[in-house]
Amino acid sequence: MADLHSAIQSRLQAAGRVLIVSHIRPDGDAIGSMLALGLALQNSGKQVQMALSDGVPSSLKHLPGSEQIRKKSEGEFDLVVTVDCSDLKRTGSALDGRKPDIVIDHHATTDAFGTLNLVEPESVATASILTRCLPGWGFPLTAPIAANLLTGLITDTLGFRTSNVTPEVLRQAANLLALGADMSALYYRALVRRTFPGAKYWGAGLTNLALADGIVWAALTRADRKAAGYTGNDDADLINIVSSIDDAEVAIMFVEQNKTKTKISWRGLKPHVDVASIAVQFGGGGHKAAAGAEINGSLSEVQERVLAATRKTLQEK
Ligand code: 5GP
Ligand code: MN
């Protein structure tokens, strides 16, 4: 491990032009981690390009440095880093065929797809790994970096309420506050505030909410998005509401992408349930308590297959 850290440190210190990439449908940890690393490298005089296939969602545009993020990488780089990505497919088109030198991630299902792979499934967020490691690698934390890192911690722990939150995570958050991150404002923007179309879209999903065999689920169609005026292709975090419902062991959201593609989110609601193992069966991945996949097939076909596989997993327990 010490060898891995010193190898990462020397690659980062030696590089002049660095590309940083994260995953499609980026969340607060993807963007917060990318910006924290990017700003830290820029503060050391490096040229940094940051690319996200889907760009920055409007809910995260307040993060310092987010205006620098582009959709495609362009030019030559000495070093390519991915953050918060569990496999190459998750980077979308942002790498444009380049091979990652360094992978920094915290997913349980991560392939070692980089040359140097710093993967810590026990960390609550990729931002937690960076909060700990950046200063040790020679990149000091500043207030804008702290705001990005704190956002990653807040979003991946749903506001410090997931079961993997440790005293160390709260100490990290306290340090980021001391560096100038505005916890109240960042928390509110990342987890509480939503748009009117987003709330209308939730309403469409909640009308078809169902519960059977320990599974609670809801589906969102492209027509729902259009009717609500919601511009994202995600569930607008409705999964967080569906997974708050008692009497279920697993919560699932089905989000129609097009006629032949459906996005799934699973949440394990009891400690004995491992939803990453179900997501992997469908080519996806994630964590024991939160996983996802994008599956080929229409919404109704995929819904049937996913419910059957989830039911089977629960029955085997
Ligand atoms: P969400 O359901 O919020 O999209 O994702 C839950 C967790 O599963 C996150 O940690 C996310 O990175 C991971 N995840 C979501 N979709 C996919 C996917 O298609 N492939 C993989 N490997 N992981 C995914
Ligand atoms: Mn993450």
**Span from the CA of 22 to the centroid of ligand 1 (angstroms):** 12
Q: How many CB atoms lie within 10 A of CB 136?
A: 10
- Say what percent of the chain tops pLDDT 70: 100
Going by pLDDT thresholds of 50, 70 and 90, the confidence category of residue 28 is very high
Q: Which CATH number fits domain 196-316: 1.10.10.60, 3.40.190.150, 3.10.310.30, 3.40.50.720?
A: 3.10.310.30
- In this structure, whether the domain defined by 2-191 belongs to CATH 3.90.340.10 is answered with no
Q: Where in the chain is the domain with CATH 3.10.310.30?
A: 196-316
- Say what percent of the chain tops pLDDT 90: 97
Q: Which atom of ligand 1 is nearest to the CA of 27?
A: 3
Answer yes or no: is pLDDT of 46 > 90.
yes
Closest residue (by CA) to atom 20 of ligand 1?
Answer: 284
Q: Give the DSSP letter of residue 98.
A: P
Q: Which atom of ligand 1 is nearest to the CA of 283?
A: 20
Q: What is the pLDDT of residues 65-108, one digit of tens each?
A: 999 999 999 999 999 999 999 999 999 999 999 999 999 999 99
Tell me, what's the pLDDT at 295? 98
Nearest ligand to the CA of 29 is 2
Tell me, what's the pLDDT at 110? 85
**Span from the CA of 284 to the centroid of ligand 2 (angstroms):** 15
Residue among 27, 29, 31, 86 whose CB has most ligand 1 atoms within 8 A, to mutate: 86
